[in-house]
Chain A
Amino acid sequence: MQELTNNALMLKVKSGDLDKLGLLYERHKKRLFGFFFNMNSDAALSEDLVQNVFMRILKYKHTYTGEGSFTAWMFRTARNVNYDYYRRNKPENKTSEVSEVAYKLEDSDTIEKGIQEKENITVLHRAMQLLTPEKREVLVLSKIKEMQFSEVAEVLGCSEGAAKVKAHRALKALRTIYLQLETR
C-alpha cells in the first residue's frame, strides 16, 4: 500500500509539486541512511549521501515513469550516488586486512566490557567492512525489510535468482571473515 502512495507522491514531484519530496524524504531517510552507513560506517558521510540521493531524485525526476517499485528506483539512485562518491574519493585502503582489524578490536573498549553478544555484533560489523563492496551491498539491500527480493534484483540489475545466489555467497563470505576475526 505504501509503495502505491510512494509512486503517487513521486509522480506529483515529477509534475512539479516539489514539496511532496519532503514526505518521501521523511519516509525513507532512515532506510537510506542505514544503507549508506552499512556501506561506509561513516555517519556524517552517510548523511551527505542521503542528501545527494534526494538532490538526484529532483534532478532526474523527469525519468521517473511510475513503472516498477519506487523503492527500487530510489535505491538504484542511492547505489549510483555511492559508486560516484567512491569513484571520486578513492578510499586509502582503510582496514583492508583481517589482521589489522583484529588488532584494532583487541584495543577497543567494547571487548573490555566483556559483553559477548555486543562483541559478536561488533565483530560482525567489522567483518561487513571487510567484504567487497559488491557483496556488502547485496547483503545490505537484502536486509531492508520493506524490499522484496524482486526489488533487490531490480536495484542490482539482475534476475531474482541471481540476486539470491549473490546474497547467499555474500553471506557465506561474511561468515568466513567473521569466524577468522573471532578466532583471533
Chain B
Amino acid sequence: MMQQEKFEIWMIDYLSDELEGKDRLNFEKYLEENDDHRKQFEALKETWLQLDEVAIPETSPKMDEQFFDMLHDKMESQNHKKESGLGWLQSLVGSIKKSQLAFAMLILGVGIGAGYVLNNDSNSDTTVNTVNAVVDTNTETEEVRGQLVLTLLEQASANKRLQGVNEAAKLNDANERVIEALFTTLNNDPNVNVRLVAVESLAKYVDTPEVRMGLVKSIGFQDSPLVQIALADLMVALQEKTSVESMKQLLEQPDIDNTVKQKLEESINHII
C-alpha cells in the first residue's frame, strides 16, 4: 500500500479538482484496489463536500459605503499631496546639479514603480501599459521623467543607468537634452547592456533625421559585437542607405568579429 502521506496529498489533489482526466481515473482505480484508503477517502469526501454548503451571509450595503468613503478620502488626500508636491519639485528643477540628484532620488518613489518593474520580464507588458497610462494623463510627470532620465544616466551604477535608458524609452517626446544624453551613453557607456538598451530607446525617435544620423555615426564607435549587430539590425529595419558607408568602414577593421562581419555583409545587401 502507498505511503500514508503520499496518499493524503493525492486525496487532496483529487478532492480539490487538481487532478484531471487520466489522473482522476488512476486515483479512483487505486481506491477500488485499496479498501482501507477507500474508506478513509469516503469519510473525508463527505465532510469536504459539506463544507461547500456552509452558508455565508450577504455583505451589507454599509460595507460598500465604508469602503468607498475610505477610498474617496485617500484619493482626495493624494490629490492634495500631488498639488503641493509638484510646486516644490518644480522649484528644484533647473537648480544646481547636486540637488538634481536629490530630486531624482525623491521622485524615484513616485515615478519609478515603473523603473523597478521594467526589469521584470514577466510583467513588462502590464508595466508598459501602466506607465503609459500615467504618462498620458500627466504631462507634469513627463517633465519629471525627462529630468530623471538625465540624472540617472549620470550615475556610477550600471543598473541606475539602465533604469535611466529604460525610462527614456517611456517618454512620449524626448527633448534635445535627453536625446543628447542617450547618444553620449550609446557611444561612451562602459556597460554593453546599457548601450544595447540605449539603441532600443533611441530607435523610438528615428523619425528625427538627427537621431538617424547619430545612429549611423555610432556604428563606427562601437567595439561590442552585440551592439554592432543591434545597430545593423536597426539600419536594415530603417532601410537607412547612409549607414552602408559606416558599416563598410567597420568591415575593414582588422579585429572584427566573424559573426559581426557576416551580419554586416548581410545587412548591407539587404539595404542595397
Task: Name A's B-contacting residues (CB within 8 A).
Answer: 4, 7-8, 11-12, 14-19, 21-22, 25, 29-30, 33-34, 37-38, 43, 47, 50-51, 54-55, 58, 62, 65-67, 117, 120-121, 124-125, 128, 139, 142-143, 148-149, 161, 164-165, 167-169, 171-172, 174-175, 178
With an 8 A cutoff between CB atoms, is B192 at the interface? no
**B109, closest chain A residue (CB):** A62
In the complex, the answer to whether B130 meets A121 with C-beta atoms within 8 Å is no
Which of A8, A17, A62, A128 contacts B134, CB < 8 Å? A17
Which of B13, B57, B133 contacts A12, CB < 8 Å? B133
**Chain B residues numbered 112-132 whose CB sits less than 8 Å from any CB in chain A:** 113-114, 116-117, 120, 122-123, 126-127, 129-131
In the complex, the answer to whether B67 meets A143 with C-beta atoms within 8 Å is no
Q: How far is the CA of A43 from the CA of B13 in the complex (A)?
A: 31
The prevalent SS among residues of B at the interface is helix
Other than A29-B64, A142-B16, give 7 A-B pairs with Cβ distance below 8 A: A15-B134, A18-B78, A33-B56, A62-B109, A121-B50, A142-B12, A171-B12
In the complex, the answer to whether A54 meets B67 with C-beta atoms within 8 Å is yes
Neighbouring A residues of B5 by C-beta, 8 Å? 165
Which of B47, B114, B129, B134 contacts A174, CB < 8 Å? B47
In the complex, the answer to whether A172 meets B60 with C-beta atoms within 8 Å is no
The stretch among B26-34, B68-76, B172-180 that forms the contact with chain A is B68-76
Neighbouring B residues of A34 by C-beta, 8 Å? 56
**B68, closest chain A residue (CB):** A22
Which of A19, A50, A58, A67 contacts B122, CB < 8 Å? A67
Q: Smallest CB–CB gap between B72 and chain A, Å?
A: 9
Task: Name the 6 nearest CB pairs between A and B, nearest first.
Answer: A168-B8, A47-B63, A164-B12, A66-B123, A164-B9, A34-B56
In the complex, the answer to whether B122 meets A120 with C-beta atoms within 8 Å is no
Task: Name B's A-contacting residues (CB within 8 A).
Answer: 5, 8-9, 11-13, 16, 18, 43-44, 47-48, 50-57, 59-60, 62-64, 66-68, 70-71, 74-75, 78, 109-110, 113-114, 116-117, 120, 122-123, 126-127, 129-131, 133-134
Neighbouring A residues of B75 by C-beta, 8 Å? 18-19
Q: Smallest CB–CB gap between A117 and chain B, Å?
A: 8
In the complex, the answer to whether A51 meets B66 with C-beta atoms within 8 Å is yes
Neighbouring B residues of A37 by C-beta, 8 Å? 56-57
In the complex, the answer to whether B70 meets A51 with C-beta atoms within 8 Å is yes
In the complex, the answer to whether A38 meets B123 with C-beta atoms within 8 Å is no
Q: Smallest CB–CB gap between A98 and chain B, Å?
A: 16
Q: How far is the CA of A2 from the CA of B56 in the complex (A)?
A: 23
In the complex, the answer to whether A149 meets B113 with C-beta atoms within 8 Å is no
In the complex, the answer to whether B134 meets A29 with C-beta atoms within 8 Å is no
In the complex, the answer to whether B62 meets A65 with C-beta atoms within 8 Å is no
Q: Smallest CB–CB gap between A120 and chain B, Å?
A: 7
Neighbouring B residues of A4 by C-beta, 8 Å? 126
Q: Smallest CB–CB gap between B140 and chain A, Å?
A: 12
In the complex, the answer to whether B126 meets A66 with C-beta atoms within 8 Å is yes
Neighbouring A residues of B68 by C-beta, 8 Å? 22
Q: Smallest CB–CB gap between B68 and chain A, Å?
A: 7
Q: How far is the CA of A139 from the CA of B51 in the complex (A)?
A: 9
Given contacts A8-B126, A51-B63, A149-B16, A15 and B50 within 8 Å (CB-CB):
no
In the complex, the answer to whether B63 meets A50 with C-beta atoms within 8 Å is yes
**B130, closest chain A residue (CB):** A11
In the complex, the answer to whether A124 meets B67 with C-beta atoms within 8 Å is no
**B77, closest chain A residue (CB):** A18
Q: Smallest CB–CB gap between B254 and chain A, Å?
A: 47
